[in-house]
A and B are shown apart, each in its own frame.
Chain A
């Protein structure tokens, strides 16, 4: 091999190596984005995912126009979930011969560097270049990510498409999870409400009680500065606090005369029965405890375990006040309802004995809004 050809050979190898390193760099870029994105998207709602996706694409590619199009479950359409730049925020694309639908149905990105000279020249009047990238979930396609030309005027590169594919498939999986989460949440709340109906259908005297107690309890918790996670779980607890009454004989719930001692004992069982009914729901330990102890008293003279002070879970202490207030404000078979000021006075009188003084203080601050 001559010196020249050997030099050429070395130059060729050097150039190949440079090219390989460059490609490696792109792959690493992609890996880092996927890693970063999969962490960023975890546990977000659909809106939050769309916002993050838009931010990431804008930062990484420097494009002005971005649209996240999601498939409508009811109609053969994709609608604009989020967009920026020269894209109409309410743009809807019906199923037809269209770039966005091509991307979705072929599950392949559609790239047009010169859209004016393509058969789709009428579709995107203000744009020169466009990429429509499918957002495919595990089971079905969820929509497409559409981007317009770069602010710098640069062309699209194949690495841009690769980046878009990587990010949109991660976003699609996250959106699919968020949908599933929404569905489960809907199913869960439906089940809780079915339980509420089951409790309240047994006696008309307690109709609407669970929902009112929930409203009062949530307002007290907010006034006490509790976070939304606590308040969400408190709401479930409050909705279900009387679920144990499913096992209480209807004649006791509806009895007009004063209850005998053994009948009172029977009714007093409902917090325990409720906790037992929901006992299998292990992640609901805080909620079942809230139900179990909602008739304990702050001074330790309650029923059952006679827990005292802060040994009684906060959920139970809040529900105790909300429950007593609504009970006094409602007609019962054996008595008429009390006027609001009398009921409020009773709560205040029992602060520090039956009720947690902090909960009562929060209740006093919000009582006017509750009654309006």
Chain B
């Protein structure tokens, strides 16, 4: 209960990536900065999860088993309920054409792996502000 109370005032970031290692380091960085972090390793039910949790930001891997991160981004952008949530694409796909395709889906930032966790944190702060609301 104590935990719930505390997190209710924290900015919430949802990260979907199938690499546990990436989830761990991003979660570590964001939690230490003071964000409330939710992690998922698959894209299944991602839309429902976003609607339920209404995060301030979504960080999405592109290449996910099942529905791709890009498709999720498209759906997020099309659904009036989720349209306003900024999305970062975090991906190993480094070609310019991929980046263009990503931005066409309405994402806010396209970040290629390997990425700097510090720089990611800075981008998050610039996009949704510091952790405390």
Name A residues whose Cβ lies closer than 8 Å to a Cβ of B. 18, 21-22, 24-25, 28-29, 31-33, 35-36, 60
Q: 1/0 per position for B52-78, CB-CB distance to A under 8 A?
A: 000000000000000000000000000
B114 pairs with A31, CB closer than 8 A: yes
B131: interface (CB < 8 Å): no
B24, B32, B116, B117 — most chain A CB neighbours (10 Å): B116
- Partner pick for A32 among B24, B29, B114, CB 8 A cutoff: B114
Contacts of A32 in B (CB 8 A): 113-117
Tell yes or no: B98 within 8 A of A by CB.
no
User: Once the chains are docked, how many angstroms separate the CA of A22 from the CA of B32?
Assistant: 10
Contacts of B113 in A (CB 8 A): 32
**B113 to A, closest residue via Cβ:** A32
Q: Which of A18, A21, A22, A33 contacts B116 (CB 8 A)?
A: A33
> Of residues A18, A25, A35, A36, which shows the largest number of chain B Cβ atoms within 10 Å of its Cβ?
A25
Complex Cα distance A35/B123, Å?
A: 19
Bound: A32/B22 CA distance, A: 12
Q: In chain B between 102 and 122, which residues have their CB closer than 8 angstroms to a CB of chain A?
A: 113-118
CB of B8 closer than 8 Å to a CB of A: no
Hey, what's the 0/1 contact readout for B5-48 against A, CB within 8 Å counting as 1?
00000000000000001001100110010000000000000000
Q: Are A21 and B28 in contact (CB under 8 A)?
A: yes
Which among B25, B28, B116 is the interface contact of A36 at CB below 8 angstroms? Answer: B116
**A245–B52 CA distance with the chains assembled, in angstroms:** 82
Besides A28-B117, A36-B114, A60-B118, 15 new A-B residue pairs in contact (Cβ under 8 A), listed by A number: A21-B28, A22-B28, A24-B21, A24-B24, A24-B25, A24-B28, A25-B25, A25-B28, A25-B29, A28-B25, A28-B114, A32-B113, A32-B116, A35-B114, A60-B116
Can you list 13 A-B pairs with a CB-CB distance of less than 8 A? A18-B28, A21-B24, A21-B25, A24-B24, A24-B25, A25-B25, A25-B117, A28-B114, A28-B117, A29-B116, A35-B114, A36-B116, A60-B116
* Interface majority SS (helix, strand, loop, mixed), chain B: helix
Nearest-neighbour CB distance to chain A for B22, whole angstroms, equals 8
User: What range describes how many residues of B lie at the interface?
Assistant: 10 to 19
A28 to B24, CA, bound (A): 11
Q: What's the nearest-Cβ distance from chain A to residue B87, in Å?
A: 21
Q: What's the nearest-Cβ distance from chain A to residue B64, in Å?
A: 20
- Which secondary structure dominates chain A's binding surface? helix
Q: Kindly report which residue of chain B lies nearest to residue A61, judged by CB atoms.
A: B118
Residues of B within 8 A of A36 (CB): 114, 116
Residue among A22, A29, A35, A36 having the largest count of chain B Cβ atoms under 10 Å: A29
Shortest beta-carbon distance, B4 to chain A, in Å?
21
Q: Check A29–B117 contact: CB distance below 8 A.
A: yes
Please give, as numbers and ranges, the residues of chain A lying within 8 Å of B117 by CB-CB distance: 25, 28-29, 32
A148 to B117 CA separation, bound complex (whole angstroms)? 24
Nearest Cβ on chain B to A159's Cβ, whole angstroms: 10
B25 CB contacts on chain A under 8 angstroms: 21, 24-25, 28
Q: How far is the CB of A57 from chain B (nearest CB, A)?
A: 13
With the chains together, A36 CA to B117 CA distance in Å?
13
Residues on A with beta carbons closer than 8 Å to the beta carbon of B28 = 18, 21-22, 24-25
A24 to B22, CA, bound (A): 10
B114 contacts across to A, CB distance below 8 A:
28, 31-32, 35-36
Task: Chain B residues near A21: list those with CB within 8 A.
Answer: 24-25, 28
With both chains docked as a complex, state the minimum distance between the C-beta of A356 and any C-beta of chain B, in angstroms: 36
**Cα distance A25–B25 in the bound complex, in angstroms:** 5
Residues on B with C-beta less than 8 A from A35 are 114
B5 to chain A, nearest CB (A): 22
Q: How far is the CA of A29 from the CA of B28 in the complex (A)?
A: 13
Q: Is the CB of A29 within 8 A of B24?
A: no
Residue among A32, A33, A60 with the most chain B CB within 10 A? A32
Interchain residue pairs A-B with the least CB separation, the first 6 = A32-B114, A25-B25, A21-B28, A32-B116, A21-B24, A35-B114
